[in-house]
């Protein structure tokens, strides 16, 4: 009981000297958390293999290469083939087409036929077979 009087007396003195008291009620913070998982995996991709790696042929013939693409990391999409590095006098044809749809299930391939015209220049040529995809998963 004695301590209450001291509190009341202290409040009266504070009021006498002009102190202002503001009483507020503070509510406890409410915080919730949740956890999630982020799995970062390799990007879809594919490999390219062309066989044979070397062919010798005289002019006036047609040679054939086999180009095979294999899905990596569940790649699925359209793959477009092209051949560069040949001068005039050569004709390139792809069978069944220069475009195929590759899925993650099995490798797929095309045949690249190069017709060596009778007037084709004699020499060694480094050909570049390109497989490109811009439309994939």
Q: Going from the N-terminus, what domains does the chain have, and what CATH number goes with each?
A: 45-136 (2.60.40.3170)
Instruction: Please report how many Cα atoms fall inside a 13 Å half-sphere around the Cα of residue 133, on the Cβ side.
Output: 20
Residues of the chain predicted below pLDDT 70 = 1-16, 19-23
What's the pTM? 0.74
> What is the per-residue pLDDT for 26?
85
> What is the per-residue pLDDT for 104?
95
> What is the per-residue pLDDT for 33?
97
> What is the per-residue pLDDT for 17?
72
Q: Are 76 and 102 in contact (CB under 8 A)?
A: yes
> What is the per-residue pLDDT for 5?
62
Strands of 99-102's sheet in order across: 99-102, 77-84, 128-136
Closest by CA to 104, choosing from 44, 49, 50, is: 44
């Amino acid at each position: 009981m004695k301590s209450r009087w001291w509190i009341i007396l202290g409040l009266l003195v504070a009021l006498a000297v002009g102190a202002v008291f503001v009483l507020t009620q503070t509510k406890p913070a409410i915080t919730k958390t949740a956890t999630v998982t982020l799995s970062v995996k390799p990007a879809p991709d594919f490999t390219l293999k062309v066989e044979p790696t070397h062919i010798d042929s005289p002019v006036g013939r047609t040679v054939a290469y086999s180009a095979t693409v294999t899905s990596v990391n569940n790649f699925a999409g359209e793959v477009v083939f092209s051949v560069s590095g040949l001068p005039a006098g050569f004709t390139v044809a792809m069978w069944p087409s220069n475009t195929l749809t590759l899925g993650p299930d099995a490798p797929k391939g095309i045949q690249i036929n190069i017709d060596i015209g009778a007037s084709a220049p004699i020499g060694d040529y480094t050909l570049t077979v390109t497989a490109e995809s811009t439309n994939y998963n």
